[in-house]
Structure 1
Amino acid sequence: MNAEAKVTEAAATMTGGAALVNGLIDHGIGTLFALPGVQIDPLFAALYDRSDEIRVVTSRHEQGAAYMAFGAARSTGKASAYAVVPGPGWLNASGALATAYGCNAPVVCLAGQIPSRSLGRGIGELHEVPDQLALARGLTKWAARADHPADAPRLLATAFCEARSGRPRPVHLEMATDVMAQEVPVGAAPVLTPWTPPVDPKAIERAVALASKAERPMILVGGGAQSASVEVTRLAERLHAPAVALRSGRGVVDESSWLAQGWLAGHALWADADLVIAIGTRLDFPFRHWGKDDRLAVIRIDVDPTEVARQFVPDVAIVADAAAAVSAILAELPAGLPRASRESKLRALKARSEADLDAQMGPQMAILRDLRAALPDDGFFVDELTQIGYASWSWFPTYGPRQYISSGYQGTLGYGFPTALGVKAANPDRAVLSISGDGGIMFAIQELASAVKYGLNTINIVFADNKFGNVQRIQRERYGGRVLGSDLHNPRFAELARDFGAIGVKCDDVARLGDLVAAHRDADRPVLIEVPVGDFPTPWSAIRRPPVRGQ
């Protein structure tokens, strides 16, 4: 870790809470998502004193604060932060922390702690849980406790550096409430420069050799390629290699291009490819479901050295930042590679795949087309664990990096709405559309109060079928119709939204949904559109495709 010079040299007397706030500001945090409570009162007092430099967005549940931070980090690629009380408060936010871990989001959790004199004694202090720090270490990349205010600058600098170094992931820093209140001289700490592994020239040489002779290369991109959109697009153009993504890699290559192919097309391309260049992706779905044989060469680019050979040993492993690695490959690729254009074939494949999706899940596709047309090209789409959300994994054209937000493999039901609020807080001048089912929205419906209070004017669609649709389908199809616990009793969502002070609209004709979204894009308040729906065709046949090669 390298250090950049910091402005203040001399120590100044301040509380531990003030030391944390100073560190947040030094690291560019302009918004802190939080829920106040007694163990972090000194932090809030310090935030009040610096309110002209850092905004506090409070949630109505700790999971809301953490998901907002997740949304801000996912949509920008920059570190974001939230603060909660210890014990049950921290645990309430832990689902979002796990989601940030699974999605490689640089989220910084600031947690309070019980009084330092009581740590580890089990005497029943308010919000005491056994070894919160150990729990945090299981859900984050790095976790520590600041035992003195003077430790805060150094530990917070380390936290931000760890969150952004190599594979980005969440981190945790806690401080006991009495330490937060203690007032002592506190010095400054340097802002640390995140570290990434250097590019190995020999690995680049082997990758270039494979890429130069491949006749039917394809590219698979994941969340780790989101900061390499320009470079990956140039590589796809040079190699005439279609780029395929599911969820986290959406938008790395502009999906209006014939080079960007959907998941069904990717399945077809995998069967005939002679080279796959996997960039910032776990490669889990293709490897486990589509199969692999010796005729398929694989180049894996990932910043995490433990990831490149987790599933299998690739022909070439490049442990490096995606943009740096792809730039190095582009620099060494011979000019004028003898490549016949694949444009006409790939355009036809793209059209055929979309037609196949229409045949498999026509109702979802019609809704998604209307939503895509209503959302600006640079708008954000936040999915959910709902039938329309699952369908969007296979088809929702995304025209730029970080514009499609998902919970990745964690599949965290209820994450979508509060995450969308964080996306909007970090991108106030861009449209944000979130979709939820009537099951998922109820996990965080109370955050409508926060959305109204802070002017987080997202458009939120609730598809209401009065059940956990996917759960009930499985109960009917796999367990002989033994339906239990999956039927739902719902409020009147549009009326409830109006009670919160938001705009609430009920859409009884799904064909009007796109027009309603377009009409409310510039609303001065958050919007919730309730859409009663029935059963949808299964989306899973479009996602879990059968093997096409190997075992």
Structure 2
Amino acid sequence: MKGGDILIECLKAQGVRHIFGMPGTQNIQIYDSLLRRGSDTIKHYLVRHENAATLMADGYARSSGEVGVALTVPGPGASNASTGLLEAFTDCVPVLLITGQSDSSLYARDPSKMFHGLNQMRFFEPITKYCAIAETIADIPVVVENAFQAMRTGRPGPTMLEFPMDVITGENGVTIPNRVQRHSKEPAKRDDIQSVIQQLQKASKPIILVGSAVTHSYAMNELQNLAEKLNAPVAVTRCAKGVLNEGHPLALQNINGFQAKQAMQVADCTLAIGCRFTSIDTRNWSFEPPRPLIQIDEDPTEIGREYQCDLGITGDLKSSLQALTDQIETSKNDWDHVLPSIREEFAKQPRLPILPELRRVLPEDAIVAVDVHSIGYASFTEFPVSHPQTFLYPCIGVTLGYAFPAAIGAKIAHPDKPVVCFAGDGGFMMGVSELATAMMYGVNVVTVVVNDGALTAIKGSQQKGCDGRTIDTDLYNPDFIQFAKSFGAYTARVDNLENFERILKEALAANSPAVIEIPMQDKQNNLIDIIGWLQPEPLRKTKF
């Protein structure tokens, strides 16, 4: 087989069914192989900017748990796609970027003198779990298998593979590897489980902090069973939103939310499960978890890495949580007298616009991709979800413009589920060219755009930190309705927020890519006032 054919057969064997990308000079032979060997199995989606290729792959991967795949030219195509890999790296998402390259005989040349020149290994190594060049045809199945092994072992993360043109066009006989399966790690040791139980039984108000490793380990049910037996409330990191159904009476939602903060003030023990303790989740590590801190993780390098723990154990999360639940006695603690008052106080806040209507209209299994904007920030604590794969957000890298391409990827992974992109005007404009992709392939994402005419959070931050001065945070926007209509999309403008719920239902029923604009230029100050880190008080007082 030709090298390109081998590559496509390897991807098929790993379960790849969709690829996002753009053809170019150094990858046309890969595309030819995709056409000849993969068109019956793998569907390709042409993007209008390579940045969207990896963001679509990200949304596809987060919503499905499968690897998202992007295909670009090297150099500028790959560097355009790098933002999506950075986001996948910080949020632990399995995204594979494949690029072509010039003939391997030219590798000795200075990359700065090469067409589409870039030393991609040096460029991508810091933001991937694995990156490699297939230097020979025999290397193709090896590097593909290694990439999927990296993405399906431990915490997921992105990978990058480079294929020179002569390797893709050459011919050889190879064996196509079988699908790489995710293997469970060894369970925690029995003595370690007993040590955790002894610590927890000393506490009167234990609290559980949960990271996305619980999702990756498919241990959501085990988490819920343990929380219920301990009667311990659960706060989650950004990446773990939905790991416990947020309608559950023990769900506190986000670690930085009001409810979680209030609960931590009275907690006397922390059980941290699969947490990486990132800068945003810990407010630049100013957060102090209630002591003693017990840490459970599959990755031994995370134990005590950010916070010295009083007890740390490693092992497969699914089996370890099950063992804890089986062996610990049912707890009778004081949380039942504390949590109701915390929830009651949180519920007294003035209601936000848009989020309540979104939740009422959308079914539980609908997928929402949220961009970085003023109301979007509040979705971590005021848009309850029942499963982590139904909420997509650029949690740690915080890539503005993430939501629209990610929503397209999620809808391709789940064509039968409603998928909504909820974005601000600044973020939507960064990926709006992909409306062409949505229309071209009939990817019926409904996009809700808050048009407030500004980079509102940054404008508010400038006002607060620079004595009221601002610079270049006001936006010049197109007529979003006419713009979307020019592509043939369904459109609607919400001039009265009371009509939003009806308009959203109509857009979801339109069976077309749709754009709903909500003009809020006259509400800029209100929108600034509801942004968490700009609020002077822990609870919102601003009314809309």
Structure 2 length normalisation: TM-score?
0.92
Other-structure match for 1:210: 199
Out of 170-179 and 325-334, give the one that drifted further.
325-334
Which of the residues 331, 339, 342 maps onto 1:346?
A: 339
CA distance in 2, matches of 1:531, 1:186: 56
8 Å Cα contact 2:94/2:156 also seen in 1: yes
8 Å Cα contact 1:300/1:316 also seen in 2: yes
Other-structure match for 1:279: 273
1:263-292 superposed Cα distances (whole Å, 9 cap, x missing partner): 211001111111212222223434756643
Q: Which amino acid aligns with 1:209?
A: Q
Other-structure match for 1:292: 288
Other-structure match for 1:245: 236
Other-structure match for 1:408: 395
Other-structure match for 2:541: none
Other-structure match for 2:224: 233
Other-structure match for 1:20: 7
Distance 1:203 1:47, change over 3 A: same
Other-structure match for 2:69: 81
Distance 1:135 1:543, change over 3 A: farther
1:505-542 superposed Cα distances (whole Å, 9 cap, x missing partner): 11111222222112222321111111111211232149
Distance 1:302 1:516, change over 3 A: farther
1:85-110 superposed Cα distances (whole Å, 9 cap, x missing partner): 10000000101100000110111111
Q: Which amino acid aligns with 1:186?
A: V
Other-structure match for 1:62: 50
Alignment of 1:487-498 (within 5 A): 487-498=474-485
CA RMSD, 1 decimal: 2.1
Alignment of 1:350-499 (within 5 A): 350-356=343-349, 358=350, 362=351, 365-499=352-486
Q: Which amino acid aligns with 2:512?
A: R
CA distance in 2, matches of 1:544, 1:162: 44
8 Å Cα contact 1:380/1:431 also seen in 2: yes
CA distance in 2, matches of 1:223, 1:48: 37
Structure 1 gaps, min length 5: 1-13, 547-551
Out of 339-348 and 524-533, give the one that drifted further.
339-348
Q: Which amino acid aligns with 1:159?
A: A
CA distance in 1, matches of 2:293, 2:99: 42
CA distance in 2, matches of 1:468, 1:338: 48
How far 1:63 moved relative to its partner?
Answer: 0.9
8 Å Cα contact 1:166/1:321 also seen in 2: no
Q: Which amino acid aligns with 1:330?
A: T
Structure 2 gaps, min length 5: 539-544
How far 1:73 moved relative to its partner?
Answer: 0.9
8 Å Cα contact 1:377/1:399 also seen in 2: yes
1:312-355 superposed Cα distances (whole Å, 9 cap, x missing partner): 22122233343232122123223xx2415744642342232232
CA distance in 1, matches of 2:473, 2:52: 24
- 1:487 is paired with a residue whose SS is coil
8 Å Cα contact 1:461/1:529 also seen in 2: yes
How far 1:423 moved relative to its partner?
Answer: 0.8
Q: Which amino acid aligns with 2:259?
A: A
> Is 2:260 aligned against 1:266?
yes
> Is 2:208 aligned against 1:219?
yes
- 1:183 is paired with a residue whose SS is coil
- 2:45 is paired with a residue whose SS is strand
Other-structure match for 1:45: 32
Aligned residue-pair number: 523
- 1:200 is paired with a residue whose SS is coil
